[in-house]
Chains A and B, each alone.
Chain A
Amino acid sequence: MKTSDIIIKCLEKENVKFIFGYPGGAVLPLYESLRHSNIDHILVRHEQSAAHCASGYARASKEVGVCLATSGPGATNLITGIATAYMDSIPLVVITGQVNSNLIGKDVFQEADIVGSTEPFTKHNYLVKKAEDIPKIIKEAFYIAKTGRPGPVLIDIPVDIQRQKMKFNYPSNINILGYKPTYKGHLGQIKRALNKLKGSKRPLICVGGGIICANAVDEFREFVNKGQIPVIHTLMGIGALNEDSTYHLGMIGIHGNKGSKNIVSQADLIMIIGARIADRAHNLIQSLNNDIDIIHIDIDPAEVGKNIKSHVPIVGDAKTILQEFNKKITNLDTKDWINQLQIIKSTEKENNILDEKYVNPKVALNYLSDKAHNDCIVTADVGQNQIWTIKNFKFMGKRSIFTSGGLGTMGYSLPASIGAQFASTNKVICVTGDGGLQMSLGELGTIGQNDLPILIILFNNNRLGMVRELQYNAYGKGNYYGVDLKNPDFILLSKAYGIDGIRVNNNKEFEKVVENALKSDKPYLIECMVNPDFATL
Chain B
Amino acid sequence: MQHFKEEIKINRRVLSVLVENQSGVLSKIAGLFSRRGYNIDSLSVGETENPKISRMTITIADDDYIIEQITKQLYKLIPVIKVIELKPDNAVYRELVLVKIKTTLETRASLIETTNIFRGKIIDVSKDTMTVELTGDSNKISAYIEMITPYGIVEFVRSGFAGLQRGNIKITD
Contacts and interface: CB of A to CB of B under 8 A. Distances in A.
Interface string A114-127: 01100110011001
Nearest to A315: B72
A177 B35 CA distance: 25
Given A116-B27, A119-B28, A178 B72 contact: no
Contact of A127 (B24, B68, B75): B24
Contacts of A119: 27-28, 31
Contacts of B19: 178
A178 B35 contact: no
B81 A302 contact: no
Contact of A120 (B20, B31, B72, B82): B31
A300 to B, nearest CB: 7
A178 B69 contact: no
Interface in B1-54: 19-20, 23-24, 27-28, 31, 35, 53
A176 B52 CA distance: 12
A302 B24 CA distance: 22
Interface of A: 115-116, 119-120, 123-124, 127, 129, 144, 176-179, 300-302, 305-306
B125 interface: no
Contact of A301 (B53, B75, B82): B75
B72 A302 contact: yes
Please name the 9 residue pairs, one residue from A and one from B, whose CB atoms are nearest each other, closest first.
A302-B72, A178-B81, A124-B78, A177-B81, A178-B80, A179-B78, A119-B31, A120-B35, A301-B72
B35 to A, nearest CB: 5
23 contacts: A119-B28, A120-B31, A120-B35, A124-B77, A124-B78, A129-B23, A144-B78, A176-B78, A177-B20, A177-B81, A178-B20, A178-B75, A178-B78, A178-B79, A178-B81, A178-B82, A300-B76, A301-B75, A302-B69, A302-B73, A305-B68, A305-B72, A306-B69
A300 B68 CA distance: 14
B118 to A, nearest CB: 39
Interface residues of B, number: 21
Contacts of A179: 78
Contacts of B69: 302, 305-306
A177 B77 CA distance: 11
A120 B31 CA distance: 7
A124 B27 CA distance: 13
A191 to B, nearest CB: 24
Contact of A302 (B53, B76, B79): B76
Contacts of A124: 77-78
Contacts of A178: 19-20, 75, 77-82
Given A176-B78, A178-B19, 20 more contacts: A116-B27, A123-B78, A124-B77, A129-B23, A177-B53, A177-B81, A178-B20, A178-B77, A178-B78, A178-B80, A178-B81, A178-B82, A301-B75, A302-B69, A302-B72, A302-B75, A302-B76, A305-B68, A305-B72, A306-B69
A124 B76 CA distance: 9
A305 B23 CA distance: 32
A306 B27 CA distance: 23
A115 B78 contact: no
A26 B106 CA distance: 67
Contacts of B53: 177
Nearest to A148: B76
A176 B19 CA distance: 11
B108 to A, nearest CB: 47
A304 B78 CA distance: 19
A179 B78 CA distance: 6
Contacts of A120: 31, 35
A306 B79 CA distance: 22
> Which of A119, A127, A129, A144 has its CB near the most chain B CB atoms (within 10 A)?
A119
Contacts of A302: 69, 72-73, 75-76
Interface in B64-98: 68-69, 72-73, 75-82
Nearest to A301: B72
A129 B69 CA distance: 32
A176 B28 CA distance: 17
A129 B77 CA distance: 20
Nearest to A126: B24
A178 B28 CA distance: 14
